[in-house]
């Protein structure tokens, strides 16, 4: 065992990379849940995004187009969920599970010819001066643009929910859909839009896995990242800032665990690989005492009777 | 005569199986308070939903300021100067006052300016309110202010108020009426929906009476007796419940300094409640909604546990027991919410009979259910309480409010309780069913059952109870004999004006 | 435009009809999918649904049907109890793995004894393993209010890692020349979950599934506990009013479904699969969710749905080898089934109405 082989600077730098996929997916789910919808299909949308983004990036040679394609793919899949829950009034838990099972099958089918292919590299933003700052430079300023996109998106979601009228309406719909309906807001429309946004974010998160983090396509490669993203939203008490914090925490655990594996710690690899899941459970337990912040209408079926 | 502010002609709206409004016409003049009077289910809410753009009429026409008016959305109605204060369902507990107000406006100003305007308007109309408070923490009266201010900020020409006094104490009602009179003096018209006749006689200039969706008459309330209006509204006269002379037995249920935290985030905790009720006695507990009624019922049913000694049944401490054991001993309860609490909406009446009757009616044997016996029990309730339903296989939610309420109350009464606790036994129920339920409670008391009736309907409580107390913010007032209590005294027991200021007009 | 209108009460007819309609729509959509993959849709559908039952090699496939259906039914019966009560155990896959590990653990520890009590002990151990794994989310939910959906799902990944650790470490076959995987229990008579009638596919797991169906039926329709389960799912507040203790119900439902999934895993590892290996689990725990819903959470329905789903597995394998239909297409096909089912399910509570004037 050689712990000195772990470079703390690289560790912190890779933490931001490891956190990005779940950050993106969790931000999307945050918006969905604030609108009062519980979409458990994040895993399915992520893996669909992973293959859509991967395939499109490989075919076009452009990771940017790939990420856009991933967002569209995720949103398209989430449209199925929107149809089930908002129009056919199906149970949201069951529909979310269906979405995940469906997404896993769909992605496996789409990805058949892409196993073992190398994707085009995603550009790094080497910010000239900032990137050269010792220690801080490589940790904070030498990543690919999606990392910064994730950070920017956190800021946008936070500001949108807190300061804009659209955000207020979204929160109102999630808090009490009957009241929102009585005031004349289109509950279903708001929710469908939120679900689409959630799908797009999850899709991009998935594509980040297949295009940057791994980078290649394998079946079932999300390996529970979507579920961790769901846990993250609970962890964050439905607040964007805390989603970022949580994502970095989980990113840190993942990276540390991988580094320990590489350093040859005297614990079987399998037990180290369990750790992100176990820590997710642990964090959920610690935070589940406070459920008061959950949106009032979360998971409830809305049907305008009048 | 000037152009009416709003005129309705021949409005009709049908839902599958029921005509909610059938050819309804009337007019509202600027500056008048116009009452819309009717029983539950008479079609009042459908009518105002059409005016407010939530529902579209099948036929008929509306004119506002002499021009055709057909709002497709509430925002269109609001833009035309129509505002509405809802009875339920229009506030967001987790949002603050300013956000709630903003949601009811078309083009709200920035939050800072809005807060200032809220303060201005609330000062003008005597409705003090802090824009930054979370709505879930407000009292019922304060919540109503939020709704009223939300409306006033848009300079409405017509203000629709749906049962606004059902959440107020008598003193708070006076304050509200002052505010409304100030508004009408400024030319605002008010469409006032209620079934409380005295209130309408005090406040309203004209009244339109609906029965089963039809306009059955108009009158000038000040010149019409409450009795005549009631007959128009109900269609026939009802015998007032008969009170047999009762002999009070020993104390059946006693609470001593009962404290219990509310299970819900914005609920009211019970603080130091003490009371006792004797066999054959009816204790009426009044109070404005949300002052601990649900929690008290839950603490008595066993859904909320407390210190063993805090609840005593026939002298035995039962505070730690759950609903099952309490029921077995003879302490039965009927909660306010029929669908989802007292009954499971999608289950049949037979299954719902089983819900509380399994133990006392021997509907199960060593855990195995006797469906035949359960169905027989359901049939007995249906026939004894005149529940209108095709049969016991029908789902609970297919019944009308009145019929389901008769079933739910009947289910408990038929089990011969030693103590029965009911919460809002006639809420949202038509007059005939309400009379039947009250009579059933009186009859049960005559047979020696101790009854606690929690209700927000003061007339009901005065009609049936022997002693009266009121809940206010989770505390119980002094309990006094019901006979001879004045409205003012009752109001003060309910908490008076809750520190609200009177409008300075 | 079309509008949904709530029925005064749930439609009995549609309760039975929706699964059939969903299957038909899935066949149509699946056919379209297979056509898009360049296969003849009719041939593909016929291969999946006809071949295993009535084809040339049906004598071989029919027993396989029972072998595949048994774990699906066993797990789905357990899940359905919780689903009815609004308690969402979606980690049956993990409980299935733990049941297998514990069951096989007993056998491997006893090896090479031929004591007749070994197999019964394995059954107990398998049920216990699944039960214990299911009790983790149950206890966390009861003690801390932790979301059981996420915890039970996270535990699947933990179980998969545990499975890998076992097949590479503790349980590795000492005579296996270093290859991962345990001894093969099919060759260890005292531990082998053999066919009760040779060639029938009928092993102890099938018998257990049948017993589970009967027990679940009696529980749900004749017993107060089953009534309380249904009541809790439909109206949680009314259930508390009736005297149901939600925490006990959570422990019961998660524990029972865990135990049944554990049993399924144990019967699988001692029989058809034979050994603990890294790829022992093939997703029965997730497919069982589809089975539970397709069977309308009703024991008899689940039995039929389990057989149908087993058919798609076997037919899918035939289609794979005969038509070169990709395995993923079958997986997608199964996913579609749940989708369409949930979509047509709306007709149980609502009816569609054509409304001429546009509604507000």
> Å from A282 to nearest chain B CA?
25
Quick check: is C208 in a domain? yes
Question: What's the pLDDT at A187?
Answer: 93
pLDDT, tens only, A81-98: 999 999 888 888 889 988
Instruction: Say what angle helices A145-163 and A187-208 make with each other, to 10 degrees.
Output: 160
Q: Do C147 and A284 touch (CB under 8 A)?
A: yes
Per the rule left: phi > 0, alpha: psi between -120 and 50, beta: everything else, B236 is: beta
Phi and psi at residue B252, to the nearest 5°: -95, -40
* Domain span including residue A184: 3-124+144-287
Q: Are A175 and B54 in contact (CB < 8 Å)?
A: no
Cβ pairs bridging A and B (under 8 Å): 53
**Residue B454 has what pLDDT?**
96
Which residue in this structure is represented by tokens 């896993």?
A104
- CA distances from residue A204 to A210, A250, C325 in whole angstroms, order as listed: 10, 18, 29
Highest mean pLDDT among A203-207, A230-234, B244-248, C277-281: A203-207
Measured between alpha carbons, how far is A150 from A145 in angstroms, rounded to an integer?
Answer: 9
Q: Residue A48's closest CA among A135, A111, A98? A: A111
* Mutation for testing the B interface, residue in A182, A186, A294, A298 having most B CBs under 10 Å: A182
**C36 token code pair:** 């898009």
CATH at residue C117: 1.10.3470
Mean pLDDT over B477-489 rounds to: 87
Is position C112 within any domain? yes
Count CB neighbours of B134 within 10 A. Answer: 15
| Rounded mean pLDDT, A113-135 | 76
**Average pLDDT estimate for B211-219:** 87
Whole-complex ipTM = 0.86
Q: Where are the alpha helices (DSSP H) in B125-248?
A: 140-152, 170-185, 197-203, 226-234
Among C230, C235, C357, beta carbon nearest to B345: C235
Could you tell me if residue A273 is inside a domain?
yes
Quick check: is C306 in a domain?
Answer: yes
C359 falls in which pLDDT band (50, 70, 90)? Answer: very low
pLDDT bucket at A137, cuts 50 / 70 / 90: low
Is A166 within the bounds of a domain?
A: yes
Give the pLDDT band of residue B504 (cuts 50, 70, 90). Answer: very low
What does the pLDDT look like over B268-288, one tens digit per residue? 899 999 999 999 999 999 988
Q: What percent of chain C has pLDDT over 70?
A: 98
Most confident of A222-226, B16-20, B496-500: A222-226
Structural domains in chain A (count): 1
In a domain, C54, yes or no: no
Arithmetic mean of pLDDT, C96-122? 92
Q: At what angle are helices C148-168 and C246-270 packed, to 10 degrees?
A: 30
- Say if the Cβ atoms of B340 and C235 lie within 8 Å: yes
Residues A102, C155: C-beta atoms closer than 8 Å: no
Residue A132 lies in a domain: no
pLDDT tens-digit map of B170-186: 888 888 898 899 899 99
B56 within 8 A of C357, measured Cβ to Cβ: yes
From C292's Cα to the closest Cα of chain A, the distance in A is 11
Question: Using the 8-state DSSP alphabet, how is residue A120 labeled?
Answer: P
- The rounded percent of chain A whose pLDDT value lies above 70 is 90
Min distance A180 CA to chain B CA atoms (Å): 7
Number of domains in chain C: 1
pLDDT class of B264 with cuts at 50, 70, 90: confident
Report long-range pairs for A119-122 (Cβ below 8 Å, ≥24 apart): A119/A54, A119/A57, A119/A58, A119/A63, A119/A66, A119/A210, A119/A211, A119/A215, A119/A216, A119/A217, A120/A57, A120/A58, A120/A61, A120/A62, A120/A63, A120/A66, A121/A63, A121/A215, A122/A63, A122/A146, A122/A211, A122/A212
CA–CA dist B1, C239 (Å, integer): 60
Q: In this model, does residue B230 exceed pLDDT 60? A: yes
Average pLDDT over every residue of B187-210: 89
- Residue B13 β-bridge partners: B21
Q: What is the mean pLDDT of residues C131-141?
A: 95
The answer as to whether A298 is a domain residue is no
Please indicate, yes or no, if residue C312 is contained in any of the structural domains: yes
Distance of CA C202 to the CA centre of its chain: 18
Across residues B44-51, what is the average pLDDT?
89
Chain A nearest C-alpha distance from C186 (Å)? 27
Q: Is the confidence at residue C300, as pLDDT, over 80?
A: yes
Q: What is the pLDDT of residue C360?
A: 37
The answer to whether residue A138 is domain-embedded is no
Q: Are A226 and A232 in contact (CB under 8 A)?
A: no
List chain A residues with CB under 8 Å of B102.
165, 168
Coil, strand or helix at B74:
helix
Q: Average pLDDT of chain C?
A: 89
| The pLDDT value given to residue B431 | 82
Least CB-CB distance to A112: which of C144, C168, C328?
C328
Per-residue confidence (pLDDT) for residue A130, from 0 to 100: 67
Residues from chain A that touch C164, judged by Cβ atoms under 8 A, are 270
Q: Considering only A74-83, C4-13, C185-194, which range has the smallest mean pLDDT?
A: C4-13
CATH of the domain at A186: 1.10.3470
Does the residue C28 lie in any domain?
Answer: no
pLDDT in tens, A249-285: 888 888 888 888 888 777 888 888 888 899 889 988 8
- Does A2 score more than 70 pLDDT? no
pLDDT of residue C358 exceeding 50, the answer is no
Largest CA distance in chain A: 68
Show the domain range for C185.
71-321
Residue with the bigger pLDDT between C149 and B500: it is C149
Of B465, B437, B460, B439, residue with least CA distance to B241: B439
User: What pLDDT sits at residue C338?
Assistant: 87
Tell if the CB–CB gap between C243 and B324 is shorter than 8 Å.
yes
Looking at the domain assignment, is residue A130 inside a domain? no
Under the banding of pLDDT at 50, 70 and 90, the label for residue B503 is: very low
Contact between C224 and B337 using a beta-carbon 8 Å cutoff:
no
Q: Work out the average pLDDT over B471-499.
A: 84
**Is C333 within 8 Å of chain A by CB?**
yes
Q: What is the CA radius of gyration of chain C?
A: 22
Q: Answer yes or no: is pLDDT of B465 > 60.
A: yes
Residues of chain A in contact with residue C140, where contact means CB-CB under 8 angstroms, are 281, 284-285, 288
Q: Which two tokens stand for residue B319?
A: 């505070």
How close, in Å, is residue C215 to chain B by CA atoms? 13
CA C78 to chain centre: 8
Chain A contacts in chain C segment 90-119 (CB below 8 A)? 90
Mean local confidence (pLDDT), B338-366: 93
The rounded distance, in Å, linking the Cα atoms of B223 and B232 is: 15
pLDDT, chain B, mean: 88
Structural domain contains residue A28? yes
Give the confidence band of A116 by pLDDT, cuts at 50, 70, 90: confident
CA B238 vs. chain centroid, Å, equals: 21
Compute the average pLDDT of residues B444-470. 92
Q: What is the largest CA-CA distance in chain B?
A: 77
Is C169 a domain residue? yes
pLDDT value for A5: 65
At residue B82 the predicted structure's pLDDT band, cuts being 50, 70 and 90, is very high
* Structure-block tokens of residue A60: 């076009």
Q: Note the pLDDT of residue B298.
A: 95
Query: What DSSP state is assigned to residue A210?
Result: I
Q: What is the dihedral of CA C97, C103, C108, C112, to 10 degrees?
A: -150
Of residues B16, B53, B342, nearest to C241 (C-beta): B342
B28 dihedral zone (left: phi>0; alpha: psi -120 to 50; beta): beta
What's the pLDDT score for residue C127? 96
C158 vs A274: CB contact, 8 Å cut-off? yes
Q: Give the three-state DSSP class for B35.
A: strand
Q: What is the pLDDT of residue B383?
A: 94
Residue A118 CA to residue B91 CA, distance in Å, equals 54
Question: Are the C-beta atoms of A52 and A68 separated by less than 8 Å?
Answer: no
Highest mean pLDDT out of B64-73, B382-391, C5-14, C125-134: C125-134
Q: What is the mean pLDDT of residues B307-315?
A: 94
C60 in any annotated domain = no
Which stretch, A6-10, A128-132, B232-236, B316-320, has highest mean pLDDT? B316-320
Interchain CB distance below 8 Å, A273 and C333: no
Question: What does the alpha-carbon distance between residue B110 and residue A214 come to, in Å, rounded to a whole number?
Answer: 46
Using a CB–CB cutoff of 8 Å, tell me whether A128 touches chain B. no
Is residue B220 helix, strand or coil?
coil
Asked if A165 has any chain B CB less than 8 Å from its own CB, the reply is yes
C-alpha–C-alpha distance, residues A269 and B51, integer Å: 68
Higher pLDDT: B469 or C189? It is B469
B481 forms beta bridges with B467
């Amino acid at each position: 065992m050689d712990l000195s082989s772990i470079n703390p600077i690289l560790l912190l730098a890779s933490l931001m990379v490891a956190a990005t996929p779940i950050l993106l997916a969790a931000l999307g789910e945050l918006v969905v849940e604030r609108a009062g919808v519980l979409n458990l299909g994040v895993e399915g949308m992520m893996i669909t995004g992973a293959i859509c983004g991967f395939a499109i990036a490989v075919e076009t040679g452009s990771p940017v187009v790939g990420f856009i394609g991933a967002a569209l793919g995720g949103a398209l899949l989430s449209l199925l969920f929107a149809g089930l829950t908002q129009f056919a009034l199906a149970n949201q838990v069951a529909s979310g599970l269906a979405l995940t099972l469906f997404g896993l099958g769909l992605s496996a089918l789409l990805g058949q010819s892409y196993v073992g292919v190398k994707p085009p590299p995603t550009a790094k933003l080497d910010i000239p001066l900032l990137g050269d700052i010792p220690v801080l430079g490589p940790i904070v300023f030498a990543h690919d643009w999606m990392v910064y996109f994730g950070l920017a998106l956190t800021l946008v979601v936070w500001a949108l929910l807190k300061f804009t009228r659209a955000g207020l309406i979204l929160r109102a719909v999630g808090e009490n859909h009957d009241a929102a309906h009585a005031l004349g807001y289109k509950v279903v429309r708001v929710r469908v839009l939120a679900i689409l946004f959630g799908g797009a974010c999850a899709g991009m998160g998935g594509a980040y896995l297949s295009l940057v983090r791994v980078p290649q396509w394998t079946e079932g490669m999300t390996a529970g990242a979507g579920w961790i993203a769901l846990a993250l939203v609970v962890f964050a008490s439905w607040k964007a800032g805390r989603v970022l914090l949580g994502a970095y925490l989980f990113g840190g655990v993942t990276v540390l665990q991988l580094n320990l594996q590489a350093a040859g710690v005297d614990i079987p690899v399998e037990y180290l690989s369990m750790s992100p899941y176990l820590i997710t459970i642990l964090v959920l337990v610690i935070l589940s005492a406070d459920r008061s912040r959950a949106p009032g209408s979360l998971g409830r079926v809305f049907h305008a009777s009048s | 005569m000037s152009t009416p502010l709003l005129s309705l002609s021949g409005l009709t709206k049908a839902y599958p199986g029921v005509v909610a409004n059938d050819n309804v016409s009337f007019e509202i003049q600027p500056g008048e308070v116009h009452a819309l009077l009717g029983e539950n289910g008479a079609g009042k809410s459908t009518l105002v939903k059409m005016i407010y753009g939530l529902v579209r009429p099948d036929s008929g026409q509306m004119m506002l300021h002499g021009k055709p008016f057909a709002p497709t959305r509430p925002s269109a109605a609001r833009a035309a100067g129509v505002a509405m204060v809802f009875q339920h369902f229009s506030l967001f507990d987790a949002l603050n006052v300013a956000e709630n107000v903003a949601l009811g406006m078309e083009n709200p100003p920035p939050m800072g300016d809005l807060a200032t305007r809220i303060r201005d308007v609330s000062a003008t109309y005597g409705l003090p309110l802090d824009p930054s408070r979370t709505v879930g923490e407000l009292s019922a009266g304060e919540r109503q202010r939020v709704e009223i201010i939300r409306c006033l900020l848009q300079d409405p020409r017509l203000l629709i108020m749906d049962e606004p006094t059902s959440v107020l104490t008598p003193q708070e009602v006076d304050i509200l009426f002052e505010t409304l009179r100030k508004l009408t003096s400024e030319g605002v018209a008010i469409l006032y929906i209620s079934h409380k006749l005295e209130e309408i006689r005090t406040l309203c200039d004209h009244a339109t009476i609906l029965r089963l969706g039809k306009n059955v008459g108009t009158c000038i309330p000040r010149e019409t007796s409450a009795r005549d209006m009631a007959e128009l509204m109900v269609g026939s006269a009802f015998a007032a419940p008969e009170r047999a002379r009762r002999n009070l037995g020993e104390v059946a249920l006693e609470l001593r300094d009962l404290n219990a935290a509310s299970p819900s985030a914005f609920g009211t905790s019970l603080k130091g409640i003490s009371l006792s009720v004797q066999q054959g006695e009816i204790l009426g507990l009044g109070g404005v909604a949300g002052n601990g009624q649900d929690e008290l019922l839950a603490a008595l049913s066993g859904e909320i546990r407390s210190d063993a000694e805090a609840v005593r049944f026939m002298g035995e401490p039962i505070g730690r027991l759950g609903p099952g054991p309490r029921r077995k001993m003879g302490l039965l309860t009927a909660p306010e919410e029929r669908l989802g609490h007292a009954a499971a909406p999608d289950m049949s009446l037979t299954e719902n009979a089983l819900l509380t009757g399994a133990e006392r009616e021997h509907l199960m044997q060593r855990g195995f259910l006797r469906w035949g016996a359960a169905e027989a029990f359901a049939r007995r309730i249906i026939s004894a309480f005149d529940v209108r339903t095709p049969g016991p296989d029908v789902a609970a939610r297919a019944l009308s409010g009145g019929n389901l309420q008769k079933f739910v109350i009947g289910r408990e009464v038929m089990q011969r309780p030693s103590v029965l606790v009911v919460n809002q036994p006639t809420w949202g129920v038509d007059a005939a069913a309400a009379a039947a339920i009250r009579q059933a409670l009186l009859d049960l008391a005559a047979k020696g059952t101790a009854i606690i009736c929690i209700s927000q309907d003061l007339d009901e409580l005065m009609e049936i109870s022997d002693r009266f107390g009121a809940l206010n913010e989770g505390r119980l007032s002094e309990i006094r004999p019901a006979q001879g209590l004045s409205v003012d005294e009752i109001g003060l027991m309910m908490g008076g004006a809750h520190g609200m200021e009177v409008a300075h007009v | 435009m079309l509008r949904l209108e709530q029925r005064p009460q749930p439609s009995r007819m549609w309760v039975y009809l929706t699964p059939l309609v969903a299957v038909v729509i899935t066949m149509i959509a699946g056919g379209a999918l297979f056509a898009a993959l360049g296969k003849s849709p009719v041939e593909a559908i016929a291969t999946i649904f006809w071949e295993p039952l009535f084809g040339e090699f049906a004598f071989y496939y029919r027993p396989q049907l029972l072998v595949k259906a048994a774990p699906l039914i066993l797990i789905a019966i357990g899940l359905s109890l919780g689903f009815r009560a609004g308690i969402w155990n979606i980690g049956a896959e993990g409980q299935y793995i733990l049941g297998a590990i514990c069951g096989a653990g007993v056998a491997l520890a006893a090896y090479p004894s031929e004591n007749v009590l070994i197999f019964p002990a394995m059954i107990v151990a398998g049920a216990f393993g699944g039960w214990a794994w299911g009790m983790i989310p149950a206890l966390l939910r009861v003690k801390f209010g932790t979301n059981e959906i996420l915890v039970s799902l996270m535990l699947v990944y933990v179980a998969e890692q545990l499975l890998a650790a076992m097949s590479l470490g503790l349980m590795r076959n000492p005579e296996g020349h270093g290859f991962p995987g345990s001894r093969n229990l099919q060759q260890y008579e005292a531990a082998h979950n053999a066919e009760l009638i040779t060639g029938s596919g009928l092993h102890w797991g099938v018998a257990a599934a049948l017993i589970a169906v009967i027990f679940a039926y009696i529980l749900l329709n004749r017993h107060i506990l089953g009534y309380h389960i249904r009541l809790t799912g439909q109206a949680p507040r009314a259930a508390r009013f009736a005297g149901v203790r939600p925490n006990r119900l959570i422990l019961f439902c998660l524990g029972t479904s865990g135990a049944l999934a554990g049993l399924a895993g144990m019967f699988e590892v001692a029989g058809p699969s034979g050994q603990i290996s890294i790829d022992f689990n093939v997703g029965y725990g997730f497919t069982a969710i589809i089975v539970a819903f397709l069977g309308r959470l009703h024991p008899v329905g689940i039995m039929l749905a389990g057989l149908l789903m087993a058919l798609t597995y076997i037919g899918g394998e035939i289609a794979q080898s005969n038509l070169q239909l990709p395995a993923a297409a079958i997986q997608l096909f199964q996913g579609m089934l749940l989708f369409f089912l949930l979509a047509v399910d709306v007709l149980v509570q609502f009816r569609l109405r054509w409304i001429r004037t546009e509604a507000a």
